[in-house]
Amino acid sequence: MPMGTYRVSPRGQGPRHSLWSLSESSVKEEEGEEDEGARRCLTPFEKLTTDMCRDEKTIKELTVGRRVGFYKVRGEIGAGTFSKVKLAFHALTKDKVAIKILDKTRLDLQAQRLLSREISTMESLQHPNVLRLYEVVETPSRLHLVLEYAGGGDLYTRITTEGRLHDALSKIVFAQVLSAMKHLHDNNIIHRDLKAENVLFTCQACVKVADFGFSTKVKSRSEILDTFCGSPPYAAPELFRDESYLGPAVDTWAMGVLLFFMVTGTMPFRADTVVRLRRCVLEGTYSLPTWVSAPCQRLIRGILRMDPSERCALDQMLGCEWLLPVEITRPLPPFQLNPRYLAEAGPGELEEEEEEVKAALEQLGITSEHIINNQGKGSRSPITGVYRILLHQGQRKRGVETPPMIRGVVKDPKRDSLRAYRSLRHTSKLCILA
């Protein structure tokens, strides 16, 4: 039989080969090679979007929840009443993110309003110590908030496992929380759930205020509120009295409780039931250990005052003796949350860091046309998600999120006077003995 030909077997006598079938196989191989060649020419963005439509493995991962939009989902890192939080990686930038996953079937109207408010609040805040929202991804049954990943855990876990913070670290952490809360109040936003569990570490000493589910925007700081929100151990007396209240004063009280917990490792008001806790808070009695520095004691006592109008204001805290050596974190210069300005800017109109973000987007294959075509979606656009992550990358490289420094030591006049008095007494005794 001539080489390269195949016998056609009669029906029912084994596999059938023919020149036609050989030709078909060759065509498929050639098409496969062409497809592979075409894939090699795709930009990372084009390859990702193509895989999400055609690649069986990617489609399966999207179906079973191993992928959410442009994010590869890994293990669970936290859970709440209506949500769970998972670690994920952006498929293009490779950045770690935290994805807060909410089951839409379990959200009533009130929960939906709170969620909408949480998204709106995070969109309106630009501060190095406020957790960032990158993107919102919605599926038929779930809503995913793609958040900045804070890999250092929360303040509550750190203190309960390692003990109270030493004085210098307490100053650095509290100064950052104070700066974030001042930024909130300057924008007429009340957190209403400040607690150690909602203060997250991104590194050893840099922290982020998180979880804005109970936050609310007021018309002015003097606006009266009447909804009890937050965690009972951090609740101000006026909340336990079921009174209407001023939002800033409630946040201020929570900061006092937080500071007490940081420097002592315990809570100022402790009880095994909410009823007993209420009684403790309304009595307003607590005990500060003598080893807490006098300036810190004065700050705590200035915050934890029963009358809201007498509590130490945030500006007073910023200038208090205990925090004087600390360089307080400043808000970030305003930046665009929507990438459209990159596509519309003319030559020379962008700042250097904006040019870098635009170049990084183009390197991934995201062009001005992609940006313009994704308008109207806001944080629900994957293009916006990539842009915000790259923007944040650049800001971190420029050092805008480094923890504050302690520039010097402010002496405590009372402690110095006491030390001088003891020294004088000791000298007098020596003189008498001589």
Task: State the Cα–Cα distance between residues 129 and 124, nearest whole angstrom.
Answer: 14
Nearest by Cα to 80 from 106, 57, 108, 47: 106
Burial pattern 403-434, b for ≥16 Cβ within 10 A else e, equals bbebeeeeebeeeeeeeeeeeeeeeeeeeeee
Are the CB atoms for 177 and 202 separated by under 8 Å?
Answer: no
Find out whether 100 is annotated in a ligand binding site.
yes
Which one of the listed residues 193, 211, 251, 412 is annotated catalytic? 193
Q: How many residues does the chain have?
A: 434
Token pair recorded at residue 382? 């994957």
193 labelled catalytic: yes
Task: State the Cα–Cα distance between residues 430 and 300, nearest whole angstrom.
Answer: 39
In three-state form (DSSP H/G/I as H, E/B as E, the rest C), the secondary structure along 124-181 is HCCCCCECCEEEEEECCCEEEEEEECCCCCEHHHHHHHHCCCCHHHHHHHHHHHHHHH
Nearest by Cα to 237 from 286, 280, 185, 191: 280
φ/ψ of residue 302, rounded to 5: -70, -25
Are the CB atoms for 410 and 323 separated by under 8 Å?
Answer: no
Q: How many DSSP H helices and E strands does the chain contain?
A: 16, 12
Nearest by Cα to 411 from 289, 324, 301, 315: 324
DSSP 99-132: EEEEEGGG--HHHHHHHHHHHHHHHH---TTBPP
| Residues with a known catalytic role | 193
Annotated binding site for ATP: 100
Annotated binding site: 100
